[in-house]
Every structure is written in structure tokens, then in C-alpha cells.
Amino acid sequence: MIYRQIFKHVFSKMDPEQAHHLVHTGITVAGKTPFVAGVIEGALAPYLTRGAGVRVFGRRVPGPFGLAGGFDKDARAVRGLNMLGFGFIEIGTITAHAQPGNEKPRMWREIEMEALRNRMGFNNQGADVAARELSALRSTPKGRSIFVGVNIGKTKVTEPQDAAADYAYSAQKLAPYADYLIVNVSSPNTPGLRDLQNVEALRPILVAVREAADKATAAAHAGRVPLLVKIAPDLANEDVIAVAKLVQELGLDGVGAVNTTINHNLGPGGLSGKPELERGIEVVSLLREHLDPEHVIIGSGGISTSRDAQRYLDAGANLVQGYTGFIYNGPLWARRINKALLGR
């Protein structure tokens, strides 16, 4: 209730992107101040270090509910986000080359439906900068204990025929630090990107990323990094099934479902938040029906409560994640959901 009042009287009156930067900076600074981070984590999320967690990719994930890509684009706030109770953190989307993203304004709140619209356009500092941040994170015992997914996308200026090499560069730089890589071909805010969800366009990208990641981890004497693909809620069911078949054909490790939707008439950008819940669960259920049990599904879209998260798990997801709900529910949100899902 306190956070709701702060949101109503402070954050809702700020430009959404300005509010994001303010919160992101605060979380980053707190996370990089060891005493502060330890105290906050001890108060909010002791269950993440002491409990059994869940087993995914043959490893322990401290909690089944994590933060989706989009909040921490350059891997600067990972430690701070972990202290707030997220079971895992997905950074990005990261592109091979730094880019400013689309012109502003590019983020809008839809407060009455607890949703966001954005046309950010993968604004980030590029794979080299993210690799340096992750290298620093992984240099400490605490940093190595955090379960981190790395979301990679296509640089806007890269031509579609060169997309595979663009994704492969990011994979080569980032795979040694990732607990999983997820290939984002589903953002509506990079022209032509969603066309890459077509299985014939997607196949060479995934093959190139797999090869680049394997070479990088071998050179770093690290284990093989799991590889997933992120899909949109707007794919027709037959296309969702086609992606599932491609995942099996290529021996990938799973799918992330879903990204933002363009199925709305609210203005420019993809919509995230509560309106996505039902379609997200439907896509996860369809994927589970057409994937083998060992394939991991990360469900996202519209999660606001632990009940929403549990519905994704019941539909066949192994892990769940959210972002928009963080904005509307505040810093204790992840803690509440993970405690409920873990029965604590």
C-alpha cells in the first residue's frame, strides 16, 4: 500500500523512462555497495540462499520467478535485482553493437490496465560493454551464484541477411558468463525483426549462435550454455508449433514465451502487462504439448500475482518471469511471488 501511494503521487507523474532510470540507478548503486546489498538481501530474500530452489538445466535456480529482459539492458543492476528477491535475472536485450534505440517518447504507461507500451528499440551499450559488466560480476563468489540469463537481439542497422553473424558476435562475447542465452526475434520495435521468427529465417541464426556459444565456452573452459528462443504472443498457433519443431530439430534447450504484443489499438509500441496473461498461458500450454519434457519453457506476460505465476507453471512452464508488474507492485513484488511459489 505504501508503494502504491508512492507510485500514484510520484512515479506516475514522472516521464516513464525517467522514472525507470531513477529506479535502475538506485538498485544498481545499492547492489554494488556490499554491506547494503547484504543487509537488504538478508531482510527480503534469505530463502534464495538457504532453500532448495528449483532444478532447471540441471542446475539449482534459487527461485522460479525471475526478472524478464528489458529492465537491465547492460547488466549493471544484476546484484541489486537479486537482493530484491528475484530467483534469476535476464539481462538485455543486448545487441552486437551499441545503439541509442528509437527516438523519444518511446515508453507509455497504461495505468488503468496495469500495462506498458514501449518502442524502445533495443537501446543498449552493446555486447562488449555487457561482457565487461558480467566479467566483473562473475569475478566474485556472490556474482557467480546469481542465475543470469542473457537476452540477445539484432542490431538495427544490420541487414536481415547478416543477422546470423550479428547474433553470433553477441553470443561469442556473452556465452562464457551466461547461465542461458535467449535469442530475441520477437520484439516489435526493430524493423523486420519479427520476420526472423519464420523457421527458415530462424534456423541459420540459431545454428550460428549455437556454434559461436560453444566455441566461446570451450575457449573459456566453461560448460555448454543452454540456448533458447524468445517468441511473440502474436504468432499464429501453427507458427508456435513450427518453432517448437525447430527447437527439437536443432537440439535447442527451450523457448521463452511471450514478448510484447502488437495486438492493440492504444498507440505505437508493444504492449506488456496484465492484458497479455491469457495469451501467454495459452502459448506456453501449446509449446508444452509439442516439446519434450526436457525442454525448458520460460513463461512471461501479464504476471501480477503468485496465482498468475502458478497458472504458467501449471500450463507447463519451468520458470516464470515478469517486468511490468515490478513497476506497478514495487520492490517487494518478487519476494512475495517467490515465497508463495516456494511454499515459504
* Local structure of residue 124 (DSSP, 8 states): B
* Local structure of residue 275 (DSSP, 8 states): G
Cβ count near 87 (within 10 Å): 29
DSSP lists the bridge partners of residue 56 as 59
Contact indicator for 285, 316 with CB cutoff of 8 Å: yes
**187 is a catalytic site residue:** yes
- Amino acid letter, 40: I
State how far the Cα of 134 lies from the Cα of 176, in Å rounded to an integer: 9
Write out the three cell numbers for 4: 502504491
Closest to 317 (Cα-Cα) out of 275, 343, 270, 282: 282
Annotated catalytic residue, options 187, 285, 300, 304: 187
State how far the Cα of 174 lies from the Cα of 315, in Å rounded to an integer: 31
Q: Which residue's C-alpha cell is 502488437?
A: 262
Contact indicator for 210, 250 with CB cutoff of 8 Å: yes
Angle of CA points 230, 232, 238, to nearest 5°: 105
Write out the three cell numbers for 175: 556465452
- With helix as H, strand as E and coil as C, how does 30-53 read? HHCCHHHHHHHHHHHCCHHHHCCC
Name the residues annotated as catalytic: 187
